[in-house]
Amino acid sequence: MDVGTVYETAYEAARQAILDEMGGDQIAISRRMLGGRVLFEDNEGREAKAVPVEALFKKVTAVREKLRVLEQKLNNHKSLDAADRAELQGYVTRCYGSLTTFNFLFAEDSDRFRGTGS
């Protein structure tokens, strides 16, 4: 591991530990989505379920935090070789890419998901 990678890993781990102690990231939901709801309809147009946007936002951000932890564990796993680590990291990146669908929920561009295209 080069010095830059070690620094980035240590920095991110310290940052995450501080955020965890403070109660997590302060990620803001888009103002226009506050108080909104997500509607699921069946194939006949009947409402099957309505979910408050805030609940969906909380679940999406929780998935992101779990992916970040997974990413850190992959990067620091002692028994994975570089090829295996890269393969598994690719899956994590594609998960982030799949979650870009929910970027409209975030107030700040910097909080949005990025996949392989970024």
Q: What is the pLDDT along the chain (118 residues), one digit of tens a residue?
A: 677 777 778 777 776 666 665 555 578 999 999 999 999 999 999 999 999 999 999 999 999 999 999 999 998 898 999 999 999 999 999 999 999 999 999 999 989 988 766 5
Total domain count for the chain?
A: 1
Quick one: how far is CA 20 from the chain centroid? 15
Domain, as residue range, for 31: 27-110
In a domain, 73, yes or no: yes
In a domain, 77, yes or no: yes
In a domain, 39, yes or no: yes
What is d(CA 92, CA 22) in angstroms, rounded to the nearest whole number? 26
Q: From residue 76, give the alpha-carbon distance in Å to each of 2, 50, 66, 87, 89.
A: 13, 40, 15, 14, 12
Token pair in block for residue 2: 């080069």
Contact 54, 29 (CB under 8 A): yes
In a domain, 21, yes or no: no
Q: From residue 55, give the alpha-carbon distance in Å to each of 20, 93, 109.
A: 20, 24, 20
DSSP symbol at 108 = S
pTM of the complete model = 0.68
